[in-house]
Every structure is written in structure tokens, then in C-alpha cells.
Amino acid sequence: MSAVLDPPTPSAAPAPPGSGPAEPRTTGATRGLLAVVLLLVGLALVSLASLAWGARDVAPSAVWDALLAPVPGDNDHLVVRDLRVPRTLIGLVGGAALGAAGALMQGVTRNPIADPGLLGINSGASLAVIVAIAGLGVSSTSGYLWFAFAGAAVAAVVVYGAASLGWEGVTPVKLALVGAALTATCTSVITVVLLTDTRTLGEYRFWQVGSLANRPLDVLTTVLPFVLVGLALALAAGRVLNALALGDDVARGLGQDVVRGRLLVVTAVVLLCGSAVSLVGPIAFVGLVVPHVARSIVGPDYRWIVLLSMLLGPVLLLAADVVGRLVVRPSELEAGLVVAVIGAPVLIGLVRRSRAVAA
Amino acid sequence: MSAPVLSPAAADRAEREERHEVASRGLRATRRRRLRRRSVVTVVLAVLAVVLSVTALMLGDFKLSAAEVLRTLAGQGEGAAPFIVMELRLPRLVLGVLIGTAFGLAGALFQSVLRNPLASPDVIGISQGASAGAVVALLAVGATSGFVVPLSALAGGSAVGLLLYAVAWRGGMTGHRFVLAGIGVAYVCTSIIGYLLTRSDVKEAQLALLWMTGSLGQADWSLVRTLAIAMVLLVPLVAVVARGLSLLLLGDEQAGSLGLRPEVTRAAVVALGVALACVATASAGPVAFVAFTAAPVARRLLADGSLALVQAALVGVVLVVGADIVAQHLLPADLTVPVGVVTGAIGGPYLIWLMASGRTRTA
């Protein structure tokens, strides 16, 4: 006797496309929008803090005046316009670049411990800066700028090229391994130079911790076009990363051109991370921690993760800069040092709490 | 004459027995082959280690012949040889051997239990914690001699180990959680180091950097003796957990059904790996890539899916002693560098080789 099957009930009919099962998609988008609004508010607040607080506290009304109706000769206005506005802007741009680059790296390598420096970009830039200091006697941040950018670009090209050798082309694992290999080699060379040349060490150690201070505004204006192109590419790459997240074969089955998609993402990473390292030095941690926070808010949709990372990055970086200015007044701690101290507990808290990260 | 006539049951049994005999003969042959390969690899590695060690004792400003070295070791050296070998070169060599063993074993333990070839003590924060401890001692406290720096490094590395343990405790020690937490802690330690490097005198910063590169330069007998005592305590423990670890590799459920408690074993293995990495880093600094490469190379050589702990230790020794010979004597333009620079430079091509050979999983 065969079992009696229930006639299909209306609730068992295939759901209309676009609505999906009861929760995820709508809630993810709502949470994303809410997060974006909150982050924009947070960004405004932290920028204000960056303009107002420091070795010398400036009242918000004075900040407002300094921006809109500056009085020459007023020290407060001077501090705000000449020192803090460039610093804040650099923090905003650098943080956005690092956050987006980190999200892209984690997406393209399918690896939650990827950071923007994984492609060897940071070590390539560092080696170029060493060459600039030791070989050519450059000693200002704007001087390092083009070296860092060139070093970053060369490193990325070498890594991508080496990873594309072999019959299977570029895969996430190969990218990560070649990037780590380049980092190892560059670090050895850098170490030899630093151990033998005290003057170079004296300058390099300050660049290497990563800081928002002492960077003139023209550094920012030079780098800004690259960052803007990179951010645009990053936003476009969200869809590509969603497709790649399920594996190359599934991505191809979904119609995604895997090679071109990966190339797009890597180009965006190079533009963003290269600009960031030229601006603020090698601060990789922002790119590591911020996508995880984003993922815990909006889930696995990379279009939202990239967008939120773009906003979370500056919040973290500027917050670190402000804290660095406040804790050891009147001197200050570099933002790159504080970023890890703030970010690591966040990361560890996320790791402990969330089961999703354990995968 | 025709074959003896057997009843159907007997013929069945005979056929089964014959099949069993063929199968067990094949199995025995495989086992013999594996054992032979294992012995060959182990012996070759051991011989290589010995040859490199003797070479290390021979080379230097005052070159000695192999015969002189061996005679001195046997207690019958003459002239300047005893001083040079016993006081100058032998401590450095023994330190290198102990470091190589410790890092090789630590790397093997970590990579097996975390089942991730990228998870070595270098990556998850132990090296950075030990470096932070040492740099604090060197730059903030200003200590340069005696045991202050190694003890401080030991404290730093152990603190990180305990912290990671606390973080991973309820959730377990597997997968990305552990590694992510380790990376976070590593970055904090790097911040501390960066802060001290930028706030101190440049010459002191250079000394700190030298320590952080990993060097056998500060080898003296008291340091070596202390490290040897620590190793004598730790290495037998490795043998104890090795059996549990092999069972763990079958998977938690299988291991559990064989009477093992996976979480306990895993915690013990990680603790042992951390201890080995800590004492080694405290003695010579974080020598790059030894822990990372020794185990995969050993496992690739054996190619039978086993843990290869002994072989990993031997590969570690060969790596460190060989790299030190290169670092001290074989570089162009009379350049001498700390051993960590050479092992780091080896790391690059090694990773490329890993990638090119296509296999990136453990075993």
C-alpha cells in the first residue's frame, strides 16, 4: 500500500522571486540602510571630534567659525584649518580606502584573515620607501608618496603575474601564498638595510607605524583621483564578490567572468591600498577588522559589506587618531599604533560571539 | 592428474583464504615500503644535520679541518682549537640545533591540530608577543645582559598563549576563530613594539630590531644549558601527545569513539606547541619561517600522511644550522646577517614552491 501524499499546500508553492524565505534579504537591506545612516552620523561626529580635540581643545562653535569665517591670526582657527582639517580629510580618505580594500581582499581570497597587505602591497611600498630613504636621501612624507605608490603597484603586478602562472590561473590560495612569499623576501631585504644603516632606520621607523600627522594637503589631492576610481570600482565589485564567494565553478555557472572579475577586484585593491599606504603608511589592521564588523551587521552580501567597510574604516581610523591625541597630551600617539589597540578587542569580541566567523 | 576435489564449502574457504593472503601480502609490502622510506628519509636528514653541524664548527676566521673538529669534540684538541670550538662555535651550534628542533616541532604541532598550513606560531601572535616582551626589556627597561631579555620574551609569549587560550576556550580551538584572535593579538603586540621603536634612541632601536630578526649571536653556555633543560622537559611530552594527535587527525568523532577526549588533547597539543615556540623565541628571537616550513617539508618527504614529528624536528635543525652557515660565511661582500634574515629569504621561494607544486593542504 503506497503512502498517501498530502496535496501540495499553498505555502509549499515556490515563493515568488524577489522575496525569498521569510527573513534575510529584506532585513539585510534594512539593516544596511540603518547602518549607513548611523555610520554617516558617526562619521560626522568623529570628524568634529578630530577638528575640536587634541593637544589644544577648540570649542565646536570656534570650529564652525574656523571653517566658514576664519579670522587670520586667531590661533584656534589656525590650528583647525592648517593642522586638523588636512588630518581629518586624510583620515577620511585613507580610512575609506583601507576599509574597502580589506573587504575586497577578503572577498577575492575567500579568506576571513586576509588584509589589504596580503598581496604584498604594503611590503612592496615599504621596500620602495627604504630605497627612497637609503638610496636617494628622501626624507619627507610627500617625497615618499610616489615611491610608496610605485612600490605598491609593482608588488601587486608581480604577485598577480606570478599567481597566474600554471594551468589553473589565479586562484585565491595562490594569490595569498605568492603575496606572503613577496612579503617574506621584501622583509628580509628591508631588515638587512635597516640593520646596517642607522640613519635609514631612524626615519623609516616613523613612517612604518602609520600616522595621519605631518602630511600636507597636496599629498591628499595628488592621491584623491586614484582613491575615487578605486572606491567606484569597489562598489561595482560587490556583485562580483557575491558571485565568487560560492567558488569559481558556481560563479562561472552563474555567468560571472571569473578572470575579469578577479582582475577588476585586484585593480581596485591596488588603487585603494596603494593610495592608502602612500597617504598614511602601512596600516593593514583597519582592512582586516572592518569587514568583519560589517559582516556581523549586514550578513554576507558583499555589496553592503563593501559599502559599510568604506564608512567604518574612516570611523576607526579617525577615532584612533583622536584617541592618540588625547591619551598622552601634549604629545601624541600615532594613529597606526592605536588602531590595533582599539580594533583587536572588537575583533576578538566578534570572534567569540559569532559562529559565522568560525567557518 | 586433475586437482583434488573439494567440497563447495571447503573450496569457498580456500578461495577466501587465498584472497586474504594476497591482501595481507600487499599490505605487508606497503608497510615495508613505508617503513623503508621513513627510515631512509630520517637517516638522510640526520646525516645532513650532522654534516652541516661539523661544517659549522669548521668555518670561520680561523678555519679548522673536519679531523681537528672531531678530535676537539672527543677531547683531544690542541692549540687554539679547543677554545674556538668549545667556547665560540659549539654554543652557537647547539643553540641552533635546539632552536631548530623546537620550532620544527612547534610548527608541526600547530599545523596538525589547527589543520591549517598557514597557522604557525609566527602568524598567531606568539612570536609577536615574545618580541614585545623582549623589546620592552631592551628599550623600556634598558636591560642588555643576562637573563632579563629572554625571560621577558618568555613572559610575553606565554601571556599571548594564555590569552589565546582564554579567548578560544568556550568556542574551541579550531579554525579561523583561533587564528583571527591570534592575529588581533599579534597586531597589538606589533603596536607596542612600534611605539617603543619610535620612542627610543636609534642605536637601541637597531639592537631591538636585531633581536626581533632572530639571531644566534648571543649564544653562551648558560643560555644554551637553560634551553636544553627546557627541551629535555618538553620533548618527551611531545612523544606523549603524538599518539593522541594522530588519532585526532581522524576527526573528532572517530577519535572520541576510540576513547580520546578531543578537546583535552587539542588543548594539550596547543599548549605544548606554544611552550616550545616560547622557549625557542626567548632564546634566539623569532627566527622566521622555520616553524612554518619544517613540518610541511617533512610531511612531503615522507608522503605517507603521518605526523612526521621526528622528521619535522630534523628538517628544522637542517634549516637553522644551514641558514646560519649561509648567514655567517656564504654571503657576498663579507656581509654577515642574523640567521633570521636567511630563513626569511628562504621563506619566499619556499612559498612559491608550495604554490607551484599545487598542494596546499596538510599532507
Q: For the segment A20-37, what is each residue's pLDDT rounded down to a tens digit?
A: 455 555 577 888 899 999
The answer, for B74 touching chain A at a CB cutoff of 8 Å, is no
pLDDT (tens digit, 9 = 90+) per residue, A176-222? 778 888 888 898 899 989 988 888 898 899 888 988 988 888 889 98
Contact A174, A163 (CB under 8 A): yes
Find, among A285, A281, A251, the residue nearest to A105 by Cα: A285
Put simply, the answer to whether A177 touches B360 (Cβ < 8 Å) is: yes
What pLDDT score was predicted for residue A2?
A: 41
Q: Looking at CA atoms only, how far is residue A333 from chain B in angstroms? A: 8
The answer, for B175 touching chain A at a CB cutoff of 8 Å, is yes
Put simply, the answer to whether A195 touches B205 (Cβ < 8 Å) is: no
Burial (Cβ within 10 Å: 0-12, 13-18, ≥19) of residue A337 = buried
- Interface A-B, measured as beta-carbon pairs within 8 A, has a size of 149
Written as nine digits, the cell of A115 is 588584509
- B114 has pLDDT over 80: no
Percent of chain B with pLDDT over 90: 24
- A28 vs B103, which has greater pLDDT? B103
List the single range of A183-192, B137-146, B226-235, B278-287 with lowest mean pLDDT: B137-146
> B337 to chain A: nearest residue by CA?
A192
Burial (Cβ within 10 Å: 0-12, 13-18, ≥19) of residue A70 = middle
Cβ contacts of A354 within 8 Å, gap of 6 or more:
A296
Q: What angle do CA B217, B218, B222 make, to 5 degrees?
A: 140
pLDDT (tens digit, 9 = 90+) per residue, B236-273? 999 988 888 888 777 777 777 877 787 788 888 888 98
The answer, for B210 touching chain A at a CB cutoff of 8 Å, is yes
Q: What angle do CA B332, B335, B341 make, to 5 degrees?
A: 100
pLDDT (tens digit, 9 = 90+) per residue, A292-346? 999 999 989 999 999 999 999 999 999 999 999 999 888 889 999 999 999 999 9
Tell me what the pLDDT averaged over chain B comes to: 84
Tell me what the pLDDT averaged over chain A comes to: 84
What pLDDT score was predicted for residue A354?
A: 64
What pLDDT score was predicted for residue B300?
A: 81
Query: Rounded to the nearest 10 degrees, what angle do helices B202-213 and B339-356 cross at?
Result: 50
CB atoms within 10 A of CB B221: 14
Chain B residues in contact with A181 (beta carbon < 8 A): 347-352, 355
Q: Looking at CA atoms only, how far is residue A182 from chain B in angstroms? A: 6
Put simply, the answer to whether A358 touches B187 (Cβ < 8 Å) is: no
Chain A residues in contact with B176 (beta carbon < 8 A): 112-113, 357-359
pLDDT (tens digit, 9 = 90+) per residue, A91-144? 999 999 999 999 999 998 888 878 888 788 899 999 999 999 888 887 777 778
Written as nine digits, the cell of A294 is 560589517
3-state helix, strand, coil in chain B (%, to 5): 75, 0, 25
- A236 has pLDDT over 70: yes
List the single range of A110-114, A269-273, A331-335, B220-224 with lowest mean pLDDT: A110-114
> A292 to chain B: nearest residue by CA?
B180
pLDDT (tens digit, 9 = 90+) per residue, B169-180? 666 556 677 778
Put simply, the answer to whether A163 touches B355 (Cβ < 8 Å) is: yes
What pLDDT score was predicted for residue B162?
A: 86
Helices of type H across chain A: 24-52, 60-68, 75-78, 85-109, 121-130, 136, 141-163, 172-196, 198-209, 217-244, 248-253, 258-280, 285-298, 302-327, 335-353
Q: What angle do CA B305, A358, A292 make, to 5 degrees?
A: 130
- A81 vs B98, which has greater pLDDT? B98
Contact A70, A77 (CB under 8 A): yes
ipTM: 0.82
pLDDT (tens digit, 9 = 90+) per residue, B277-310? 999 998 998 888 888 888 888 888 887 777 789 9
What pLDDT score was predicted for residue B127?
A: 87
Put simply, the answer to whether A191 touches B174 (Cβ < 8 Å) is: no
Chain A residues in contact with B206 (beta carbon < 8 A): 194-195, 198, 201
